[in-house]
Every structure is written in structure tokens, then in C-alpha cells.
Amino acid sequence: MIMIDTGDRIAAKAAQMARPEFIAAYPITPQTIIVEKTAEMVESGELDAEYLRVESEHSAMVAVVGAAATGIRTFTATSSQGLALMHEVLHWAAMSRLPIVMVNVNRALGPGWNIWADQSDSLSQRDTGWIQLYCSDGQEIFDSIIEAYRLAELEDVQAPVMVNFDAFVMSHTSMPVEIPEQAVVDSFLPPLKPLWKIDPDDPVTFANMIPQAYYDAMRKNLHEGLLNAKAHWPDICREWTSLTGFERGGLVEEVECEDAEWIVVAMGAFGAEARIAVRELRQRGLKVGLVRIRMFRPFPDEAFRRLAAGRKFVVVDRNCSAGVGGIVCSELRSALCRHGDSPVYGFIAGLGGRDVTYRDMCGMVEQAMNGQASEVEWWGLQD
């Protein structure tokens, strides 16, 4: 079935087909359509789930944590300030090893008040223990949500997953998506079999006080769970591709990288523009490729180390860690710290929804090629 709809409604459709039994909802622009659509599905009987309206995003995550702890599949969605309000409970969900899936529609953080695309909201949560996936089109939104449940629920992962896509340019833009039969999704994503759950007939202690001697072991175990997620993700993507034919790459998507001397690194909606930029630069005779990050956390450092070998990287960040610069650029420099022959040039662009086109990205690459790029470049600032 071909569905032509917005990214938000595509996300709601994917959530429905994953068969969650509990949804906690609080509206926030530009995510609101997701929880509105899932509410309609529950009301109409299309989705057999308990739907709870709460008073804040913090409460939404608390409710999802409580429901997931009973051993059922859960779903919620948020954005921007709502994700920031959840911060405390994001740690709780991860350390409790709950396989929650949440959609976050990337939106700028205030002040000033801004409702447009910016990845600073999710990237500011990168150390909470959540796996983070980033999408560049509607098909990937649908696929990634289904794949996220499969990944989160693996026995040696058992960690929450945040599926991210850019505000308005994806959340409110209609795109064609091929929707598989429910039987295909069910074969790929069988019913959840929890490793543990709250059960009055078999009582356990849940998230109690823990002595110093065991806390570090818990943190190490969560760390290892995310590393396991990175190892499993390519296989999960290949299996989904074998069932549906939809392919977006594994940890990263590589475009024209085989003979590339320069590689553009992008994430989210920027990946689509970067793909066009690479084609344009190739037509000019420049050996440029693209690595689009699908899984940011855990960071796909091995993919970049494999590609390093004398290549130069131009990172386009739709975020900024104040006092450091672009977050993806910083992560990549860390991953390639032993590859001195592979410099990384960082550009910060598109914050707060400012438009960034493939022509801008061509300009960034040319600026780096001409030796005119400093440690951190801000692209397209108002004079």
C-alpha cells in the first residue's frame, strides 16, 4: 500500500503497526499530530491500546516507564522543550533497561521561542543511555520505528530508542511511503517477551537504592547493551530489507564513497540535501562522497575509521554545543583522533530552522577545499 502523508502521520502509522499496548500522550508543536493520530486510532479501534493523556511530558515518560515495567510494549512522542522536561526520567528509563520507543521531532530549544528544526534537543540528551536514530525521509521514519522496537527488545540490548526527524521539513511535509502488510511487520516484530516485569505473583525489587559496589556494574552493563545494539543494528536493517525491499543503510548510509577524497557528513533532513550536493560536485569533477549517520548513539566510529585513510571530512551540524561547536563534528574528531591524515572540518548551519540547500553544502565543501575553513565555521549568519 502506498501512503502519501506527513512525517508525523507516517510515524503514527508505524507505531500502530508495531502494536503497542500503552501510549502516553502530551501535545507539543510540531509533534502534536502524532499523538492526535494515535488517539484517533485507539478511539476507532484500529489500535488496541490503553491511551493515557497526562499533564506534561515529564508525566508522559513516567507513565511509559511504569507501563513498560509491567512487561508490555509502549509508545510516546515529544519534541524540544518537552524532551528537555523528560530529562530526569530518560535516565530512569535507560538504567531500568526498558525497551521503550519514543519519537522526537527535532525542534529548537528556547529562548528565543522557536518551533523550527534544530537537533540540539535530542543531542543534548545523548548521555542518558538512549539509542538515537535519525531519519531523512518518510520511508525511513516508518522503517526506523519498526526496526527500533526489534532492536530495543533484544535480550542483550534492552534499552530505549529515540527515533528523530526534523520539524516541519519532515513532520509536516507529505511524502510517499510504501506500507507493508501487517503480517510482514508481525513476522519481523513478534510479541514482546520481557526479561523481567512487575508481577504481584512474583514480586521483585524495581529501581531500589543500590550500594556503591554494584552501581558501576549497572552502568557498565548499560554501556555494553548499547554497544550490542550497534553490533545488531546492521543485521536488523538487512533483515527488514529482505522482507520489504526498503534499504537505507545500517549505522550509516554511504553514497559515492569508494573513490571519494572528500566526504560530507550529515544527519537527518540534511542528508537528503547532501546527497544532491554530492551529485552536483561530482558533475564538476570533484571526488566527493556522503556519509549520512542513521545511528548517532552509540556513535558509528568504526564506519568512519574504515573510511578514514587519508580522506577529508566536512561535517554539517544542525546543532551547537556552546563552547565546543558542532556535536557531530566533535564526536567524529574524537573517533578519528589517531588518524592525523584525515582532517575534519566543521560547519554549523540551519539552527532554528534556517534553510540550508544543496548549494550551501557545495559552498561548505569548496570553502574547506580552498583552505578557508577554520576550526568551527558558522554558515549563513545574518549580518
The number of angstroms, rounded, from the C-alpha of 301 to the middle of its chain's C-alpha atoms is 16
Band (pLDDT 50/70/90 cuts) for residue 206 is: confident
What's the pLDDT tens digit per position in 328-373? Answer: 999 999 999 987 789 999 999 999 999 999 999 999 999 999 999 8
What is the distance between the alpha carbons of residues 257 and 290, in angstroms, rounded to a whole number? 7
DSSP bridge pairs for 2? 178
CA-based Rg of the chain, rounded to a whole angstrom? 20
Do 108 and 117 form a contact (C-beta atoms < 8 A)? yes
Q: Decide if pLDDT at 9 tops 90.
A: yes
When the pLDDT of each residue in the chain is averaged and rounded to a whole number, the result is: 96
Q: Which residues of 127-157 are buried (b: 16+ CB within 10 A; e: fewer)?
A: ebbbbbbbbbbbbbbbbbbbbbbbbbbeeeb
CA atoms within 13 A on the CB side of 120: 21
The whole-number pLDDT of residue 28 equals 98
- Give the chain's length: 383
The whole-number average pLDDT for the span 89-103 is 97
What's the pLDDT tens digit per position in 18-67? Answer: 999 999 999 999 999 999 999 999 999 999 999 999 999 999 999 999 99
Q: Decide if pLDDT at 383 tops 60.
A: no
Lowest mean pLDDT, pick from 133-147, 196-210, 232-246: 196-210
Q: Decide if pLDDT at 294 tops 70.
A: yes
Instruction: Please state, for a pLDDT cut of 90, what percent of the chain lies above it.
Output: 90
What's the pLDDT tens digit per position in 129-161? Answer: 999 999 999 999 999 999 999 999 999 999 999
The whole-number average pLDDT for the span 283-305 is 97
